[in-house]
Homo-oligomer: A and B are copies of this chain.
Amino acid sequence: MNDLIKEMFVRAFKNRYLEKLPDAASISWDTPTMAFTTDSYVVDPLFFPGGDIGKLAVCGTVNDLAVSGATPLYLSAGFIIEEGLKISVLKRIVQSMAAEAQKAGVKIVTGDTKVVPRGKADKLFINTAGVGCMHACVKEAFISDKIKNGDKILVNGHLGEHAIAILSARNEMHFESEVLSDCACLNGLLDKILQKHKRVCFMRDITRGGLATILCELASALELGLEIYEERVPVSTSVKGACDLLGYDPLYLANEGKVMIIADAAESEDILRTMQNHPLGEDARIIGEVVQDHPGMLICHTSIGSKRIVNMLSGEMLPRIC
Tell me the A residues contacting B by CB distance below 8 Å.
20, 22-42, 44, 63-65, 67-70, 74, 76-80, 109-117, 119-122, 125, 127, 129-132, 134, 139-144, 204-205, 221, 319-320
**Chain B residue with the shortest CB-CB distance to A111:** B38
Residues of B within 8 A of A80 (CB): 40, 42, 80, 125
- B26 with A68: CB separation less than 8 A: yes
Q: How far is the CB of A229 from chain B (nearest CB, A)?
A: 26
Complex: A297 Cα to B74 Cα, angstroms? 35
- A68 with B23: CB separation less than 8 A: yes
Complex: A122 Cα to B78 Cα, angstroms? 17
Pick the residue among B24, B64, B78 that contacts A141 (CB under 8 A): B24
- B114 with A42: CB separation less than 8 A: yes
Complex: A20 Cα to B218 Cα, angstroms? 11
**Chain B residue with the shortest CB-CB distance to A67:** B23
Question: Which DSSP category, helix, strand, loop or mixed, fits chain A's interface?
Answer: strand
Number of copies of this chain that the complex holds: 2
From A22, A32, A65, residue with most partner B Cβ within 10 Å = A22
Residues of B within 8 A of A44 (CB): 120
Complex: A70 Cα to B221 Cα, angstroms? 38
- A26 with B141: CB separation less than 8 A: yes
Pick the residue among B70, B113, B125, B204 that contacts A26 (CB under 8 A): B70
Given A65-B24, A319-B115: A33 and B38 interface contact (C-beta under 8 Å): no
Q: How far is the CB of A57 from chain B (nearest CB, A)?
A: 11
Complex: A91 Cα to B124 Cα, angstroms? 26
Q: How far is the CB of A29 from chain B (nearest CB, A)?
A: 4
- B23 with A37: CB separation less than 8 A: yes
Complex: A134 Cα to B26 Cα, angstroms? 8
Q: How far is the CB of A114 from chain B (nearest CB, A)?
A: 5
Task: Return 28 A-B CB contacts under 8 Å, by A number.
Answer: A22-B142, A23-B67, A23-B68, A23-B205, A24-B37, A24-B64, A24-B68, A26-B134, A29-B31, A36-B76, A36-B109, A37-B76, A37-B110, A38-B111, A38-B127, A38-B129, A39-B78, A39-B112, A40-B79, A40-B80, A42-B116, A42-B120, A114-B125, A116-B319, A116-B320, A120-B121, A121-B121, A127-B127
Complex: A78 Cα to B128 Cα, angstroms? 9
Complex: A27 Cα to B38 Cα, angstroms? 14
- A28 with B37: CB separation less than 8 A: no
